[in-house]
Amino acid sequence: MDYNFRDIECKWQKRWAENGTYTVIEDESRKKFYVLNMFPYPSGAGLHVGHPLGYIASDIYARYKRQCGYNVLNPMGYDAYGLPAEQYAIQTGQHPAVTTVGNIDRYRNQLDKIGFSFDWSREVRTCEPSYYRWTQWAFQKMFGSYYDNRLRKAQPIENLIAKFEESGTEGLDVAQSEELEFTAEQWKSFSLKEQSDLLMNYRIAFQAETMVNWCPGLGTVLANDEVVDGVSERGGFPVEQKKMRQWCLRVSAYAQRLLDGLDTIDWSESIKETQRNWIGRSEGTEMRFHVKDSDFQFTIFTTRADTIFGVTFMVLAPESELVRTLTTKEQREEVDRYVQKVRKRTERERISDRKVTGVFSGSYAINPLTEESVPIWISDYVLAGYGTGAIMAVPAHDSRDYAFAKHFGLEIRPLIEGCDVSQESFDAKEGIMINSPRPDQLRDGCLVLNGLTVKEAIAATKKYVKDHNLGRIKVNYRLRDAIFSRQRYWGEPFPVYYDNGIPHMLPEECLPLELPEVSEFKPTSTGEPPLGHARKWAFDTATGKIVDKELIDNKTVFPLELNTMPGFAGSSAYYLRYMDPHNDKSLVSAATDNYWKCVDLYLGGSEHATGHLIYSRFWNKFLHDLGVSVVEEPFSKLINQGMIQGRSNFVYRIKDTNKFVSLGLKDQYDTTPLHVDVNIVSNDILDIDAFKAWRPEYQTAEFILEDGKYICGWAVEKMSKSMYNVVNPDMIIERYGADTLRMYEMFLGPIEQSKPWDTNGIDGCHRFIRKFWNLFNNRDGSFCVSDDAPTKEELKSLHKLIKKVTEDIENFSYNTSVSAFMICVNELSQMKCNKRQVLDILVRLIAPFTPHIAEELWESLGHNSTVCDSAWPVFNSEYLKEDNITYSISFNGKTRFTMDFPVGATQQQIQEAVLSNEKTQGYIAGKPIRKIIVVTNKIVNIVL
RNA sequence: GCUCGAAUGGUGGAAUGGUAGACACGAGGGACUUAAAAUCCCUUGACCUUUAUCGGUUGUGCGGGUUCGAGUCCCGCUUCGAGCACCA
């Protein structure tokens, strides 16, 4: 029988589906292993060959683990909410649900052809009520919680309310937006609305007026990680800063735990580093400065407390509340003008144009240590959102302060021995301190930093500030709270209604709150989000039903929230839902959660480093505090598969003609390179007839050939439609089969590396699979496995392979194991090996890589079970042992001759044998041998 | 600017400090064939030498170092990629 991959793959895919081969159930008697891919957003373009790379890699691992006896969970689902479907809906009126389902079907169809071992009975879709019910539930729990810094844990908000009733904010140590102070009496005197507003300062899901990234092009706000270089990640529309009341998640409360957790997980150093940067922990000092001729004081944050004696001015962020208070009458007009001007600048302009600008506030601050007064300036190089929005400026040791001081002619006072600040500031945290004031110039006590190193000086100043109650030691994080509202239709609705402007959670039994139908997907004419179009969008507290909004009476029927949740909401806990996808009592049952625990191997792109991978770690930690997720870190091992880039081809058109010149001759003409569809190019040779048929305007094209061929140029670019370099997996499968595709994707290179797709090399893998098939099948098509005992050489070749493949899979080094298969099959076919004992093992080894052909051959070997349930072969080193070992005898790094020694020869025996060998007789090139070193790897090195 | 990672033939890429370039593509040559496809065999880093074999020199971005021995370890650069970036 010939290798007919189409029939074989079709047959087995059908059989797997019918028999539920990959359905998995919890089984306490077996060890679990949880493999997960980042679930895809089903885009309209379908899959290209880059998408399945990670799925194939994880599928190989999942199948391998299964053969090793693990109970493997390998689920798949869809991140179904997202902007493209909604944009499409706005343009065409097509409901996003319809588009999404269509795309999902297409994805499923494509995925099924590749032969994955997914358990589809556990599929989740984030846009289905039975799924997003638990997204809404988690949000409500966050609303009902605050973060206790002492316990390092989320707590029910009721505990905090009880505390306020008893003793107000006294001795409170909790995560909060701003530090508030009130007594129990004050708390009790507040109105309901005031209490509600105050609690927002502490809740983990809270509403706040914040500066948000407003994207007019998309009509919504965006999270920080959704904004890249001042434009929206999706669509590339400009983003501006705007103050809006929004739902937020207090991710910052978990900053330290998110940082600490990184040390406990097996992720790549680069992605951990990215997260560390994003969290941006910095240890420093907060210091209070009094304002001259006033009782007013304000706080600044610095990491360089040691430079307190070099402070020559202060700077406020233009958006800071302090600006209003500290601007004097005389300066008001100028300051207002400046603040207005700054506000108009977009994020983008700020980044591209870093001119030094600023304005004097008119006030002076008093240095708490020296009582010296220094001017307070306002400039946009200080950010309102970080620290306190105010800084002490030390131009000698901070390049930004330096630039500002030079521009406005302010004093620059160096504090480190030997540093030259005439051209630039000295920012390094090293050197010996000088220029401390004399003790009698200090306000109280004495702090002399002279002679200390920077590090010592920082510590000494911190201690001084603390001891003299001038401020406190403070750790700041760059990580901001996540803005959680989107003014969109296609997302999870908030299970929230409003009573007199006070948000209330829908009762848990009313979940899920389903996304309503709307007449339009655009914002309303009054600027409300799309849900403003929904008629049936009010909550009746008396009946617990969703009713028409005309019935709103603000007594029992209240308006519902019009915002929806952002994309990361649904993807933050989906790995938990896969464990128990049909549970309608809880997100995941305790028993199931306790069995699967966490994802053992997570695969996905590194582009989610500061988005999904932070949010879901945060989300999981919160659930963990609630007692839901038993393990604090959800993904114990993470592999980031590289992007598959496109390999574009070019043709060169001679200017103003319809004539195309081959690559090697193009320099002789004035040409324009044009992208040409890679699917009509083979080995960079253009299929001229296909090219003429490709576009009507090329029908009459003429060509200047070299050697009778048209050679195309090429370049590596992103795989995209507009570059005509998209390669579709369906097409590859049609031509070579899924097994070849799987092998080739793994063969391309290390899984973590980005690399261009080049269909040219695929023949090698296809040839290999045919060769493998031919070990079992004669040329004439007959099955030809013999029951003879295998030879020593055959077993050696086989066991070398078992060892290599097992190690490689464990190390995710699939490309080298594909090579190992090729070598082994080559050797075996040269030995004409068709022994059952060998082939039986070979099939089991290759099954994770090429499951279809493996099943087919496994069946023809006479097994009744599937090969995916067979045992992983055991390596036996006995077969690799040799009688004699050939040593290379070398000096000066060159092999001079070889000698054979029996296995187990001692170092001394070898040395003596080499010394007395007839070729040396103790001398080489007339010089006596000084030293003989026996190197493990069959090499003996001689030193003269 | 700070942090992390990388650099090996025409290409993708192999090498626990131990014979660099496995494996594959591409290229060249050959066998089979009316021809094509398919299959199989040989050559393939560069340079020198030779009719050919044999042989030699050189070679992993650059410059040093450690070592009997360095693509691999250490120090100093260069280039490329990624992340963060007026974060005080």
Question: A660-687, pLDDT tens digit by residue?
Answer: 988 777 778 888 888 888 888 877 788 8
Give the strand pairing for A894-902 and A884-891: antiparallel
Nucleotide with the nearest C1' to A384 CA: B87
For A245, phi and psi rounded to 5 degrees?
Answer: -85, 125
Residues A263-319 have pLDDT tens digits of 899 898 888 888 998 999 998 999 999 999 999 999 999 999 999 999 999 999 998
pLDDT of A921 > 80? The answer is no
How many angstroms is C1' of B18 away from CA of A625? 53
CB A833 within 8 A of CB A795: no
DSSP 8-state code for residue A933: E
Residue A270: per-residue pLDDT: 83
Least confident of A210-224, A328-342, A541-555, A905-919: A905-919
Residues A684-699 have pLDDT tens digits of 788 888 888 889 999 9
How many angstroms is C1' of B42 away from CA of A95? 64
How many angstroms is C1' of B50 away from CA of A919? 27
Residue A347: per-residue pLDDT: 59
Nucleotide with the nearest C1' to A762 CA: B25
CA closest to B25 C1', residue: A761
Across A454-476, average pLDDT: 90
Least confident of A244-253, A389-398, A451-460, A781-790: A781-790
Residue A613: per-residue pLDDT: 94
CB A383 within 8 A of CB A389: yes
pLDDT of A814 > 80? The answer is yes
CA closest to B27 C1', residue: A683
How many angstroms is C1' of B81 away from CA of A607? 14
C-alpha distances out from residue A45 to A87, A376, A605, A677, Å: 15, 56, 19, 16
pLDDT over 70, % of chain A: 95
Nucleotide with the nearest C1' to A765 CA: B24
Nucleotide with the nearest C1' to A755 CA: B12
Question: What number of other Cβ atoms are within 10 A of residue A116's Cβ?
Answer: 25
Nucleotide with the nearest C1' to A896 CA: B19
pLDDT of A593 > 80? The answer is yes
Residues A192-210 have pLDDT tens digits of 999 999 999 999 999 998 8
Position A170 confidence tier, pLDDT thresholds 50, 70, 90? very high
Three-state SS at A476: strand
Nearest to A867 by CA among A115, A166, A45, A246: A115
How many angstroms is C1' of B56 away from CA of A894? 12
CA closest to B16 C1', residue: A937
Q: Among positive and negative, which fits the CA dihedral A726, A730, A732, A738?
A: positive
CB A304 within 8 A of CB A394: yes
Beta strands of A892-926 (E only): which ranges?
A: 894-902, 923-924
Burial of A432 (0-12, 13-18, 19+ CB in 10 A): middle
Q: CA end-to-end span of chain A, whole Å? A: 63
pLDDT of A914 > 80? The answer is no
How many angstroms is C1' of B55 away from CA of A933? 27
C-alpha distances out from residue A860 to A564, A846, A921, Å: 55, 15, 61
Residue A20: per-residue pLDDT: 96
Residues A104-160 have pLDDT tens digits of 999 999 999 999 999 999 999 999 999 999 999 999 999 999 999 999 999 999 999
Position A223 confidence tier, pLDDT thresholds 50, 70, 90? confident
pLDDT of A929 > 80? The answer is no
Give residue for tokens 């070193």.
A933
Nucleotide with the nearest C1' to A756 CA: B12
How many angstroms is C1' of B81 away from CA of A39? 26
Residue A756: per-residue pLDDT: 85
How many angstroms is C1' of B16 away from CA of A645? 33
How many angstroms is C1' of B17 away from CA of A185? 74
Give residue for tokens 């490689």.
A808
Residue A83: per-residue pLDDT: 86
How many angstroms is C1' of B34 away from CA of A732? 33
pLDDT of A2 > 80? The answer is no
CA closest to B26 C1', residue: A683
DSSP 8-state code for residue A553: -
Least confident of A40-49, A59-68, A70-79: A40-49
Residues A495-529 have pLDDT tens digits of 999 999 999 999 999 999 999 999 999 888 888 89
Position A361 confidence tier, pLDDT thresholds 50, 70, 90? very high
Nucleotide with the nearest C1' to A779 CA: B39
Least confident of A44-53, A600-609, A828-837, A874-883: A874-883
C-alpha distances out from residue A356 to A92, A380, A402, A406, A417, Å: 47, 9, 11, 10, 28
How many angstroms is C1' of B26 away from CA of A653? 26
CA closest to B12 C1', residue: A748
How many angstroms is C1' of B55 away from CA of A895? 14
Residue A233: per-residue pLDDT: 77
For A572, phi and psi rounded to 5 degrees?
Answer: -85, -20
Q: Which strand ranges, in their side-by-side order, compose the sheet holding A240-249?
A: A220-222, A205-215, A240-249, A482-483
Across A33-55, average pLDDT: 93
Residue A445: per-residue pLDDT: 65
Nucleotide with the nearest C1' to A391 CA: B88
How many angstroms is C1' of B33 away from CA of A256? 73
Residue A432: per-residue pLDDT: 86
Nucleotide with the nearest C1' to A393 CA: B88
String of DSSP letters for A46-69? ---TTTHHHHHHHHHHHHHHHHTT
CA closest to B82 C1', residue: A270
CA closest to B17 C1', residue: A935
Which chain B positions come under 7 Å from a protein C-beta?
3-5, 11-16, 18-20, 22-27, 38-41, 56-57, 68-70, 81-84, 86-88
Residue A893: per-residue pLDDT: 59
Nucleotide with the nearest C1' to A476 CA: B87
**ipTM (interface pTM):** 0.93
For the CA atoms of A384, A387, A390, A393, what is the dihedral angle to 10 degrees?
A: -120
Position A932 confidence tier, pLDDT thresholds 50, 70, 90? confident
CA distance A178 to A58: 45
CA A656 from centre of chain: 47
Residue A680: per-residue pLDDT: 85
How many angstroms is C1' of B33 away from CA of A687? 26
Across A550-575, average pLDDT: 95
Residue A453: per-residue pLDDT: 86
Across A360-387, average pLDDT: 92
For the CA atoms of A107, A108, A113, A118, what is the dihedral angle to 10 degrees?
A: 120
CB A157 within 8 A of CB A146: yes
How many angstroms is C1' of B22 away from CA of A816? 9
Nucleotide with the nearest C1' to A766 CA: B24
The chain-wide mean pLDDT, for chain A, equals 89
pLDDT of A810 > 80? The answer is yes
Nucleotide with the nearest C1' to A280 CA: B87
Residue A745: per-residue pLDDT: 94
CA distance A711 to A433: 67
Residue A777: per-residue pLDDT: 85
Position A922 confidence tier, pLDDT thresholds 50, 70, 90? low
pLDDT over 90, % of chain A: 59
Position A35 confidence tier, pLDDT thresholds 50, 70, 90? very high
Question: What number of other Cβ atoms are within 10 A of residue A253's Cβ?
Answer: 27
Position A45 confidence tier, pLDDT thresholds 50, 70, 90? confident
How many angstroms is C1' of B19 away from CA of A931? 20
Question: What number of other Cβ atoms are within 10 A of residue A222's Cβ?
Answer: 21
C-alpha distances out from residue A900 to A101, A606, A792, A897, Å: 69, 51, 20, 11
How many angstroms is C1' of B53 away from CA of A941? 29
Least confident of A267-271, A584-588, A632-636: A267-271
Give the strand pairing for A702-704 and A659-661: parallel
Nucleotide with the nearest C1' to A744 CA: B24
Nearest to A869 by CA among A895, A851, A887, A888: A851
